[in-house]
């Protein structure tokens, strides 16, 4: 009992003021997740976290955040449910036609000058986001010498991405995305079909160019230099302080003349803004110039 009281006291001491019981419950849950599992969601946007916590509660048939906290602390399955909900929402292949179009125009410019180009999908939105990029690189004749680093926030997401495949029925739907984003020919040409004909996975030579790793944007340091960094799917979840921290991390990791893909424009008063110039009008895509 003394140990539990001490833990509760330390948790409450670290919390921001709360306006309601539910807000206090949420802060305690996030602090407990950090203290017990080492995952730090305390700097995330509160509206985003609240929505995703409520989704986890619904999955587990729980009525309060306190009930969820108790389950998370003592039940690995409950923790994995919450962790999945708090992670970046999975993407579908070629699901954003405008992003794909801009990538087609940009890959050659930012990658051709490097001897061994590297691209970082920070907090990658699942296997299909990485597969989309691998196919684009192949079409731009950059695939053979470009390494994709796709990082995810947990070991569970890492294992899922590495073992990913698609039901054959989904390829028909994704073909429409592919055509809308400027793709030519059949998407199936880049896939290997399972022996039973029910599933497909990206061809081995394309999968081999993707390096998957568990990586925490909140706590980990820069680990390489990249010619292109895309963090636009993860950044909307971050509160102001955490966002500044991650943008500094990207700045530490981007090569001269590299391309930085964000979710919204850099603030003019951000000290990092002088390092970059916009590449496209009305788009938060930047070339490093200093």
Q: How far is the C-alpha of 133 from the C-alpha of 102, rounded, in Å?
A: 12
pLDDT digits (tens, 9 = 90+) for 66-116: 999 999 999 999 999 999 999 999 999 999 999 999 999 999 989 988 999
Find the mean pLDDT for residues 36-47. Answer: 93
The per-residue b/e assignment along 53-76, b for 16 or more CB within 10 angstroms, e otherwise, is: bbebbeebebeebbebbebbeeee
Q: How far is the C-alpha of 46 from the C-alpha of 48, rounded, in Å?
A: 5
CB proximity list for 267: less than 8 A, separation 6 or greater = 273
Q: How far is the C-alpha of 237 from the C-alpha of 209, rounded, in Å?
A: 28
| Strands (DSSP E) found in the chain | 118-121, 147-152, 166-167, 191-193, 199-202, 210-214, 226-230, 254-261, 276-278, 285-288
Find the mean pLDDT for residues 47-52. Answer: 96
Find the mean pLDDT for residues 248-262. Answer: 97
User: Of 70, 1, 86, 87, which Cα lies nearest the Cα of 36?
Assistant: 70
Over pLDDT 90: what percentage of the chain?
87
Tokens of 132: 């989309």
User: Of 122, 146, 250, 163, which Cα lies nearest the Cα of 206?
Assistant: 146
pLDDT digits (tens, 9 = 90+) for 167-200: 998 988 899 999 999 999 999 999 999 999 999 9
The pLDDT of residue 3: 43
The pLDDT of residue 172: 86
pLDDT digits (tens, 9 = 90+) for 124-166: 999 999 999 999 999 999 999 999 999 999 999 999 999 999 9
Total-model pTM: 0.90
Residue 7 has pLDDT above 60, yes or no: no
Q: How far is CA 175 from CA 48, 170, 252, in A?
A: 31, 9, 37
Residue 19 has pLDDT above 70, yes or no: no
Give the chain's mean pLDDT.
92
**Is residue 24 within 8 Å of residue 11, measured between CB atoms?**
no
Residue 11 pLDDT class (50, 70, 90 cuts): low
Find the mean pLDDT for residues 20-43. Answer: 94
Residue 49 pLDDT class (50, 70, 90 cuts): very high
The pLDDT of residue 20: 86
The pLDDT of residue 268: 85
With 0-12 / 13-18 / 19 or more C-beta atoms within 10 angstroms meaning exposed / middle / buried, residue 240 is exposed
The pLDDT of residue 112: 86
Which structural domains are found in the chain, ordered by start? 2-86 (1.10.155), 97-288 (3.40.50.150)
The pLDDT of residue 269: 86
């Amino acid at each position: 009992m003394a140990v539990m009281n001490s833990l509760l006291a330390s948790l409450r001491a670290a919390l921001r003021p709360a306006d309601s019981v539910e807000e206090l419950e949420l802060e305690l849950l996030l602090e407990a997740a950090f203290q017990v599992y080492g995952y730090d969601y305390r700097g995330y946007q509160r509206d985003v976290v609240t929505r995703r916590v409520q989704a986890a509660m619904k999955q587990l048939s729980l009525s309060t955040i306190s009930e969820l906290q108790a389950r998370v602390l003592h039940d690995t399955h409950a923790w994995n449910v919450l962790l999945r909900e708090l992670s970046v929402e999975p993407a579908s292949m070629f699901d954003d036609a405008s992003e794909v179009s801009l990538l087609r125009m940009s890959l050659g410019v930012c990658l051709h000058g490097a001897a061994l180009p590297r691209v970082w999908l920070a907090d990658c939105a699942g296997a299909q986001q990485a597969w989309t990029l691998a196919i684009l690189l192949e079409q731009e004749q950059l695939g053979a010498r470009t390494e994709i680093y796709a990082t995810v926030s947990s070991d569970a997401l890492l294992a899922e991405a590495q073992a990913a495949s698609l039901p054959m029925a989904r390829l028909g739907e994704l073909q429409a995305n592919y055509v809308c984003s400027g793709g030519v020919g059949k998407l199936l040409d880049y896939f290997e079909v399972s022996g039973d004909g029910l599933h497909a996975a990206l061809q081995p030579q394309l999968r081999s160019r993707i390096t998957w790793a568990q990586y925490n944007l909140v706590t980990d340091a820069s680990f390489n230099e990249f010619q292109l960094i895309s963090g636009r799917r993860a950044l909307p979840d971050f509160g102001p302080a955490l966002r500044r921290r991650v943008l500094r991390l990207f700045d530490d990791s981007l090569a001269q003349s590299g391309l930085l893909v964000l979710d919204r424009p850099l603030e003019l008063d951000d000290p990092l803004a002088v390092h970059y110039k916009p590449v496209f009008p009305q788009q938060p895509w930047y070339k490093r110039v200093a």
